[in-house]
């Protein structure tokens, strides 16, 4: 080897070392040639799907309920059961899951109601025969008839009050509604969360609220950030809002009076179409961790993943400045892989995360499978599983 070749080899070795040392340790490279999917130390995961367990909730045509809108008996969970919120009560995991009847054809054209299911182990659930939150002859008719109550996120305050944020769907404008309960079965509806807010957010489509929680004395409870209840919300970006009473919320606005995005979809990534907030965010020693749902744009997304597929991502916000994103995964930690996650009314594949609970010193993540069933995956901080492997593009 001549001197020039030695110099060239050393130069390229130097560049390689510099490149390796500069890799951002808080993100997974989207150009990786391996299917390994390492997670940074601030992220939750990996989550393992329990063997021979999923889906844990499926449609039940036998369930009947007298619908207040029509006065008729309906199969309220006969078509689909999906997108669950979750909390813990009396040592049991409780799911509030979205159910759809057969009153229409296509996503958003049927009536949705929230069913109730509980479990002593977080895996095997017993369901109530009737829904617990639904469009009724009440003060929320204008916001919930005929589309119903969709996509709940549930959390508990330190005093044992449960709060659920859900989409009120009148088939005109989707809005975030809030309700409270002491037992997760009997709910008091308080109406749209932005009805008294400044700006015009109330009249614009909005959904998907992830209130900030923390683990205190072994319980996951609602937290305050800088003296305020704080939530992330939105699907076209991640936005923020604060509250003093959990009922009336003020969105963070930009100088033009529009909701200010904290993160947005990224061209070339799994979240290139949507960044829709998932389950309640969690305050950790590293920051505020938000798990979210990314939708992959068929033309401008990550070609390793199916176009229009929903995969799960994570973003970390500063614990004292909840508007400042300080870490974000470049690849999903959970993606549609199992048959039940790719077959149903959403055939492009969906793992739509909405429920996250700290239970038996583990994190149980509950999600909608292809908008048709409910699945679960578990993160054990002592023995974390690998994140879902990444597909490799053919050369």
pLDDT tens digits for range 240-289: 999 999 999 999 999 999 999 999 999 999 999 999 999 999 999 999 99
Average of per-residue pLDDT across 110-133? 98
How far from 160 is each of 166, 182, 205, 321, 333, CA to CA, in Å? 19, 7, 31, 27, 31
pTM of the model: 0.91
In this structure, the chain runs to a length of 395
Given a contact cutoff of 8 angstroms between Cβ atoms, the answer to whether 288 and 43 are in contact is no
**For the chain, percent helix, then strand, then coil, each to nearest 5?**
5, 40, 55
Q: What is the pLDDT of residue 107?
A: 80
CA 144 distance to own-chain centroid: 22
Q: Is the pLDDT of residue 41 over 60?
A: yes
Dihedral pair phi/psi, residue 303, rounded to 5°: -70, -10
Q: What is the pLDDT of residue 34?
A: 58
Q: Is the pLDDT of residue 13 over 90?
A: no
């Amino acid at each position: 080897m001549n001197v020039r070749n030695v110099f060239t080899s050393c130069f390229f070795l130097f560049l390689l070392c510099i490149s390796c040392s500069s890799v951002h340790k808080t993100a997974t490279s989207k150009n990786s040639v391996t299917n390994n999917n390492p997670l940074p130390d601030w992220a939750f995961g990996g989550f393992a799907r329990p063997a021979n367990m999923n889906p844990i909730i499926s449609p039940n045509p036998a369930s009947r309920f007298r619908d207040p809108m029509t006065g008729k008996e309906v199969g309220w969970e006969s078509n689909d059961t999906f997108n669950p919120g979750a909390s813990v009560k009396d040592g049991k995991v409780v799911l509030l899951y979205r159910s759809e009847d057969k009153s229409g054809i296509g996503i958003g054209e049927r009536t949705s109601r929230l069913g109730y299911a509980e479990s002593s182990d977080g895996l095997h659930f017993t369901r109530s025969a009737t829904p617990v939150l639904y469009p009724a002859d009440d003060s929320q008719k204008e916001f919930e008839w005929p589309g119903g109550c969709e996509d709940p996120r549930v959390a508990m305050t330190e005093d044992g009050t449960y709060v659920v944020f859900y989409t009120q769907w009148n088939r005109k404008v989707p809005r975030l509604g809030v309700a409270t309960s002491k037992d997760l079965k009997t709910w008091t509806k308080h109406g749209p969360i932005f009805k008294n807010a400044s700006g015009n957010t109330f009249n614009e489509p909005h959904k998907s609220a992830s209130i900030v929680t923390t683990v205190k004395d072994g319980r996951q409870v609602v937290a305050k950030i800088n003296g305020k209840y704080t939530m992330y919300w939105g699907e076209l970006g991640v936005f923020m809002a604060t509250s003093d009473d959990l009922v009336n919320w003020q969105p963070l606005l930009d100088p033009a009076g529009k909701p200010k995005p904290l993160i947005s979809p990224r061209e070339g990534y799994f979240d290139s179409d949507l960044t829709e907030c998932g389950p309640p965010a969690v305050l950790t020693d590293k920051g505020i961790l938000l798990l979210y749902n990314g939708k992959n744009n068929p033309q401008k997304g990550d070609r390793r993943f199916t176009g229009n597929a929903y995969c799960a991502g994570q973003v970390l916000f500063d614990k004292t400045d909840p508007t400042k994103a300080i870490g974000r995964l470049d690849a999903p930690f959970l993606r549609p892989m199992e048959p039940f996650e790719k077959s149903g009314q959403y055939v492009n594949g969906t793992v739509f995360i909405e429920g996250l609970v700290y239970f038996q010193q583990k994190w149980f993540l509950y999600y909608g499978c292809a908008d048709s069933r409910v699945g679960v995956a578990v993160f054990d901080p002592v023995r974390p599983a690998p994140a879902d492997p990444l597909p490799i593009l053919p050369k």
